Amino acid sequence: MNELKKYTVTINSDMYSFISDEQETDIHRAVELVNSLCIPLVDIKLTSHHDSKRILALIAVRLASMLLQEQDQSYTTTTTCTSLIELINRTLEI
């Protein structure tokens, strides 16, 4: 009997919290990615019974969609989008 683990993710421009996650390395990578983008993310919250891969995919998809809506498609933005696509593929294990 495996208990469902409850995850809470809150990310905005100056704070994040990951609760009850087993994949700390991947979480730290995602957090570093968020911090390196310097994009204010307001109220991305998920409180539900999901595994950490789904949470990472949610974050990556949201970041990618925000980046694609940016006017300035600079080299950094393109590189970051590529990294996000790789992150999505890795976390979903497609």
Task: Kindly report, residue by residue over 19-46, the tens digit of the pLDDT.
Answer: 344 544 555 566 566 556 544 443 344 4
pTM of the model: 0.30
Residue 57 contacts residue 44 (beta carbons within 8 Å): no
What residue spans define the domains of the chain? 7-92
Residue 59 contacts residue 30 (beta carbons within 8 Å): yes
Over residues 47-69, the pLDDT tens digits come to 444 555 566 666 666 665 555 55
Residue 46 pairs in a beta bridge with 9
| 56 vs 41: CA distance, rounded Å | 15
Q: How far is CA 1 from CA 4, 50, 77, 80, 91, in A?
A: 9, 17, 44, 40, 25
> Quick one: the chain helix, strand, coil %, rounded to 5?
50, 15, 30
Q: In the Cβ-directed half-sphere of 57, how many Cα atoms lie within 13 Å?
A: 12
Residue 80 contacts residue 38 (beta carbons within 8 Å): no
In this predicted model, which residue has the larger pLDDT, 75 or 37? 37
